[in-house]
Structure 1
Amino acid sequence: MENEREQWGSKMGFILAAVGSAVGLGNIWRFPYLVYNNGGGAFLVPYFIAILTAAIPILILEYGMGHKYRASTPLALARGNKKWEWLGWWPTINAFFILAYYSMILSWAIKYLTLSFTKGWGSDPNNYFYNDFLKLSSSPFEFTAIIWPVLIGIAVLWAVNWFICYRGVKGGIEKLNKVLLPLLILIMIVIAVKGVTLSGSTLGLNKLFTPDWSKVKNPSVWIAAYGQVFFSLSVGMGIMMTYSSYLPKKSDINNSAFMTGFANCGFEFLCAIAVFSILGFMATSQGVPIDEVVSGGIGLAFIVFPKVFSIMGVWGNILGVLFFMCLIFAGLTSSVSLVEAVTAPIIDKTGWNRKKVVTWICILGFVVSIAFATNAGLYLLDIIDNFINNYGIVVVGLLEAFVIGWIIKPDTIRNHTNSVSYFKIGKWWDITIKYITPVVLAFMLISSIINEIRNPYEGYSLAALFVYGWAIIGIGIIGSLLISRRPWKNKHIENDESEA
């Protein structure tokens, strides 16, 4: 059975797919705001330390596990230690929920791409987004209407996911990334070049990169840095282990991890330059301090930027189209990786063929996504995303580091990656996986829990946080434990060392 496992057509195909998975919406709307909010240029100190002590070591861990054991995340962990198979199913379940709300955000981006030709969001983008477009209800439990443009967009995106993943790793995912990723980078370069030539752009860039060294002493800034590199590289989500399992036997794992990490890092900087150049222009043209126009997340993409494009004349139409194309491309390369992170474990577990599994995942995913196409969809997105990121993914990463560091043993993976890599990693990697990464992630987790107890997330009711937040975490853990009790298709999980 193992001999039938699909493979990437080339190492570059794998790198593009891994970078495509890592490069997502968070790079565009989360990273620039984090730098601005956490000490500007001074934030880059903890950021680069986080890349070297957490992001790249965990990438090497996940690439090494997938490549050594030639399997998706649950099977790779089961082959490492049978008791820990369930840990591979938790990120698989998380990936499915992320897909459900990711499709909603991309549906918004499709709608805004059509609006950007005519600046159809009108003179008040804030009112248009919440009231005219989303028709936002007053409570997370108030489902009174389906938002049809959102639902249609979601259907289109699930159809695209299905079409790409149905065609397989080499014929679908690799081909998509070879087209979309270079296009995405090219468009972002165009936006950044135009951005820095706008009047007032230096105001934004100075505000972004001027260091506030006092912030470096603040533990919350370090948590933000580690959180960003962790989330933006798609680690702890079951994607990278699965992707690396499709690599040929002789593949430079260590070098691939560094290339993926730094390529993602470079794209984040490009996004920061583009975003803050444009925000500097907006602040200057409106005669207000830049602090009044800065925003992160959904507000930046669907409210602040449309305001900017509205005052830019013809260039506003052009940049609007390019910006929303960027969001769609970045989202698509990430969403197909999430579909694959759900597909591969099910294929490994059941022996069903890819086409059947992909079809069922996309049908079920669309059904679940309908909840996000209602007028309470934004609330669901906000709560579920917060809990999966702060608890689901962090705990998975923490436990992965613990299992490899203390049970499977780091030198098992390090010796394997060194045996196929030109660049060898030393025992520093073992120390990182055993001590540094678990300590940092445990600190992040405890801080999140303390904050949650002191101040319930965004002031939502405890009922909403329980139903959409803690319950999703519970479903992930209970579901993973139940699935792991079912037998594998071939009744055994021994690793075929000849394949590894």
Structure 2
Amino acid sequence: MSAEQPVEASRGAFAHRRVFIFAAIGSAVGLGNIWRFPYVAYDNGGGAFLIPYLVALLAAGLPFLMLDYAIGHKYRGSAPLSFRRMSGRGAETLGWWQVGICAVIAIYYAAIIAYAIRYAFFSLDNAWGDDPNAFFFQDFLESTTGFGFDFVPGVLWPVVLVWLVVVAIMVAGVQKGIGRTALVFIPVLALAFVALVVQALFLPGAAAGLDAFFTPDWSALTDAAVWGAAIGQIFFSLSVGFGIMITYASYVGRKTDMTGSGLVVGTANSSFELLAGIGVFAALGFMAQANGVAIDEVASNGIGLAFIAFPAIISEAPAGALIGVLFFGSLVLAGLTSLVSVIEVVISAVRDKLDLSRTSAALAVGIPVAVISALLFGTTTGLPILDAMDHFINRFGILLVAVISMLVVAWKMRALTDLRGHLNATGSVPLGSWWSALIAVVIPLALVYVLVDELLLVLDKPYGDLPTWLINTFGWGTAGLVVVVAIVLAQLPWSSRVPLDGPPTDTPEEEVSR
């Protein structure tokens, strides 16, 4: 970085509002849209779930997305820098907490993408044979009855490959790396998934699957847990509350329509989730009919859906190889765009704090994270570790920091009026006092309900029947460690070249077109 170049002008920028929207959609549309939403909807009232889901989107997801946009767009920095400029060192801790969460997610997210890469090739010849469950755990992951840390080459090397690709994208920069990746991957992902859904709809039994997915159970609307599930799904899928949208919003020009952009991103994300539900349950309907069982006997989510249920479907379905390549290829594309956004939160924060060049920050973050990712998840105990980290960092990391950050911004900083005015200055969708009320009161109360419900479940029964040492180390331990690290990092000095007193006056070197 030259001595004459302002720090703000060196951060990079998206070349156009369209690029920002594609990148934000790429972050929001991830693995959870494909393998989490369909089952959550099915398990919480089917078609009736769409009502609390839409309410959660409009009353919680989009308002919080606007909050993230406002903070990043106004204060022009990574999550820690933006919070620091808002209210000093104490608030900066919130930003580093979000950075820590993203670092943890990045570490295990790469492993799931690596699984999907291998399974896209397995689909060509049904490598899993007649027992996808045994193949996944015994042949692919080489899991044992105990918990060992022997390396599994079939997982280790794909994880390394994923990180080589991601680090190369991050070194390329905001526009040339993140932006161009999103412009290519998101249209390809959309085409691939539409092709998958069309193929699934022509499978025998697809209608029964769709009937199971959409048939409403209206009594579910009186269950508070269903509404909590809707709120949780929206937060997990929109990439809000853990620094991604703050970071991305800092890369767009000051005259950009942020509220209109937010509506586009939120609508695209939910549309993809609905499309995923149609495709997944059409395929599950085929599987149920082929095996002469009810839908609820084959419906699952997460790892079980992707790497056990879908391989079974692929083995029996007409054009199964095509379905497999489209499905696992979609997982790879959705996973990569999300992983890029997650690791960018960490890279951006390190760049801002230490005033590093893009390449230096990308390598300083990417290499250590890649090494930890490979060492943990390229082993025989990788999947249980992944399960524990994912559950606890999502429930007791993302949701908790989201609640605290909203309350701090609303009641300690009293910044909502100012942030609302900033968005309304250039936004096409005006935000009123209702937005402030949602952020200050309604959404925090709803998230507290979800958090308490999750806590009671975990305390009642050890999560996933995993060993106590593993839950304490990689579950509670990981969720607690990011808080400790956040407090420590907030105490470290910033580079003298980084202005900390309020939002800077410099604009990005590439002003975004409205």
1:342 corresponds to: 346
Q: 1:91 aligns with which of 88, 98, 103?
A: 98
Deviation of residue 499 (structure 1)? Answer: 4.3
How far does the alpha carbon of each residue in 1:52-79 deviate from its partner, in whole angstroms, 9 at most, with x for none?
Answer: 1110001000001000000111111111
Q: Does the alignment pair 1:189 with 2:194? A: yes
Q: Give the gaps of 5 or more residues in structure 1.
A: none
C-alpha contact 1:254 1:421 (8 A) present in aligned 2 = yes
> What residue in structure 2 maps to residue 204 of structure 1?
209
Aligned residue type for 1:5: R
1:398 is matched with which residue?
A: 403
Q: Which of 357, 362, 365 is 2:366 aligned to?
A: 362
What is the DSSP-based 3-state SS (H/G/I as helix, E as strand, rest coil) of the residue aligned with 1:118?
coil
Q: Is the 8 A contact 2:85 2:503 kept in 1?
A: no
Counterpart for residue 265 of structure 1: 270
- Decide whether the 8 Å contact of 1:125 with 1:302 is kept in 2: yes
Of the three residues 3, 7, 29, the one matched with 1:23 is 29
Is the contact made by 2:152 and 2:378 (CA closer than 8 Å) also made in structure 1? yes
> Are residue 13 (structure 1) and residue 19 (structure 2) matched?
yes
**Deviation at residue 423 of structure 1 after TM alignment:** 2.1
Matched, 1:134 2:145: no
Amino acid paired to 1:228? Q
In structure 1, what residue type is equivalent to 2:116? A
Distance 2:364 2:153 in 1: 23
What residue number does 1:467 align with?
Answer: 473
Structure 2 Cα separation of the partners of residues 375 and 362 of structure 1: 23
Structure 1 residues 37-94: Cα deviation after superposition (integer angstroms, max 9, x where no partner): 0000111111011001110001000001000000111111111111210000011111
Report the Cα distance in structure 2 between the residues aligned to 1:422 and 1:26, rounded to whole angstroms.
30
User: TM-score, normalising length from structure 2?
Assistant: 0.95
Q: Distance in 2 between matches of 1:358 and 1:341?
A: 11
SS in 2 for 1:81: helix
Preserved CA contact (<8 Å) 2:384 2:466: no
Asked if 1:37 is matched to 2:43, the reply is: yes
Q: In structure 2, which of residues 454, 459, 483 is the aligned counterpart of residue 453 of structure 1? A: 459
Name the structure 2 match of 1:148.
153
Q: State how 1:67-466 maps to structure 2 within 5 Å.
A: 67-82=73-88, 83-139=90-146, 142-313=147-318, 315-369=319-373, 370-408=375-413, 409-466=415-472
Query: Structure 1 residue 138: deviation in Å?
Result: 2.7
Deviation of 1:281 after TM superposition, in Å, equals: 1.1
CA distance in structure 1 between the aligned counterparts of 2:197 and 2:350, rounded to whole angstroms: 41
Which amino acid is the alignment partner of residue 441 of structure 1?
Answer: L
* Structure 1 residue 431, shift from structure 2 partner: 0.4
The CA RMSD over aligned residues, in Å, is: 1.2
* Whole-angstrom distance in 1 between the partners of 2:478 and 2:203: 44
Q: Give the Cα–Cα distance (whole angstroms) in 2 for the partners of residues 451 and 299 of structure 1.
A: 21
Which residue number corresponds to residue 494 of structure 1? 501
Amino acid at match of 2:107: A
Offset at residue 496 of structure 1 (A): 3.7
Task: Indicate conservation of the 8 Å contact 1:249/1:499, yes or no.
Answer: no
Q: Which amino acid letter does the alignment assign opposite residue 112 of structure 1?
A: Y
Cα separation, 2, equivalents of 1:234 and 1:199? 36
How far the C-alpha of 1:170 sits from its partner, in A, is: 0.4
Contact 1:401 1:438 in 2 (8 A): yes
Distance in 1, Cα, partners of 2:158 & 2:466: 28
Separation (CA, whole Å) in 2 of partners of 1:457 and 1:255? 40
Cα offsets for 1:362-419 (capped at 9, x unmatched): 2101211111111000110011111001100001110121122112321111000001
**Where do 1:53-68 residues align within 5 Å?**
53-68=59-74
**Contact 1:384–1:472 at 8 Å: present in 2 too?**
yes
Q: Any idea what SS the aligned residue of 1:425 has?
A: coil
- Would the aligned equivalents of 1:110 and 1:153 in 2 still touch at CA under 8 Å? yes
Greater mean deviation of Cα atoms: 399-408 or 274-283: 399-408
CA–CA distance in 1 between the matches of 2:131 and 2:468?
33
- Deviation larger for 264-273 or 482-491: 482-491
Structure 2 segments unaligned to the other structure (5+ residues): 1-6, 508-514
Which amino acid in the other structure matches residue 10 of structure 1?
H
**Deviation at 1:492?**
4.7
Query: Equivalents in 2 of 1:453, 1:34: separation in Å?
Result: 22
Separation of aligned partners in 1, 2:446 and 2:324: 39
1:159 to partner: Cα distance: 0.4
Structure 2 distance, partners of 1:73, 1:366, is 22
CA contact (8 A) 1:70 1:499 kept: no
TM-score, scaled relative to structure 1: 0.98
Distance in structure 2 (CA, Å) of the matches to 1:110 and 1:462: 32
Per the TM alignment, residue 359 of structure 1 is displaced from its structure 2 partner at its CA by 1.0
Asked whether the equivalents of residues 254 and 423 of structure 1 are also in contact (C-alpha less than 8 Å), the reply is yes
Is the contact made by 2:353 and 2:495 (CA closer than 8 Å) also made in structure 1?
Answer: yes
d(CA) in 2 for partners of 1:20 and 1:144? 33
